[in-house]
Structure 1
Amino acid sequence: MRKQIQHYALLFLLLLSGLGISRSANGQEIKGIVHELESSQRLRDVTVKNLRTNETTQTDTEGNFTVGGQINDLLTFTQPGYEIDTAFVYQEGIQRVYLIRDSKTITIDEVVISRLTDSRLAYEIEKAKTEGQVTEASQNRGGLRISLSRLFGRQSKMARNNLDLLLEEQHNRKVDRLFSAQAIRALVPLTDTEMALFREQFRPSLEFIETASPEDVRAYVLDSYSKFKSTK
């Protein structure tokens, strides 16, 4: 019996050590890794600052960092030659941040988009909106007129395609903050593999999440879980 208790205690400690947000002698800590976006190379000597506590630290030779903090904190990342970025900590786990070189044009695809922090994602959305505009104000007449070169230009088309991908990612993130694995596990028993499938198949719409009460979300999870189990 004693060996069994020791076994479970060891497993519990191992689970705690894998969390990006963990307990320490001084309180909670946020752990993460900083990469360069295009090469995925880990970056050393990046200054990480918690804007709530003003605590700062730097990444080590492997790009790892640990800073005091908790969920809902906002971190900034500064490194000469790279654009300053901010990351909102909204879930447990190792925080992965990808920095972009100054004045570097990035190629937008689903993999790249998934790596962007929320602040960078919002920036790229505004950039895509500007590049994809198809109307311009006339200096000679009031109102708006269609600019054919901007409407059918290659850059404009690419910007509008990028905008769709960027907005979809932003919407999914807003939904996933409430439709999180932690919130779902508090209501229904799912393995890690089942959780990934469940969240993908039954992710609610942004419109639902923005208007639903906690009771609505709870009912949605329970109803979706019944449907999920019935198909297995």
Structure 2
Amino acid sequence: MKINIYHILFILLCCLPKSWAIAQESIGGMVLDAESKQRIGKVFIVNKTTGENTYNNSKGEFNLTLKPGDIIIANKENYHGDTISYAGAKALIINLKRKTIAIAPVTVMGRVSPEEILARRREEYNKAYRLADPGDFVSVGQNGAGLSIDAVYNYFSREGKNARRLTKYFQKEYEDNYIDIVFTRELVRGVTGLEGEPLDNFMIRYRPEYNFVLTADRYQLVKYIKTKYEYFKHIPYIKPLPDLKEIDLNLEN
């Protein structure tokens, strides 16, 4: 009789303790600015205990599957991250403190590099990285080659899917940080002479792709900025459109 992967997964799921499903429930929450108490949107929220993660909406609202004792982490650009332990409340309120910038933007001494940030993520979320890449499905032992049940289960489990989403987010965070290091306001200002809102618009509209920045030398980067500036001079006051919502076509999710 031929047994496929899904038969194995069905058997494993049937053997899981019922307490897993009973203990966890979907909890609604909201993220607020700690000072103004206004709602904050586009906050990345992760249940570090299970790996489940999500972004809240423009109203600051979100939902997560939680059980008492789960560790929740919230992160947003220009805000200090917050870590809390879920105690069983019916609603979860997260307050984030805005970062204060006390140094000039050109001062980069002591700045953490994108590589260091990614290394910290790998260390802090090592379980997620292990689940995201569980290894070969086929294991070799004394009795020959066989199917690795642990690898198969970890890959197709809910935790495995959440882990892959989380590690993809960290990779995107690394790429964005790398672009910020190379494509700076100081460089664009020096090449174009732009200041204020026009400079902000240019930085957003013509932000380069990671693959280009990764391989471009300074000459190529300056040439790129000059070329885009020629387009920009004709329509300098058109503000960039908001990002379109990404459509996930990955059939495994």
- Please state which band the TM-score falls in when normalised by the shorter chain: 0.3 to 0.5
Normalising by structure 2, we get a TM-score of: 0.44
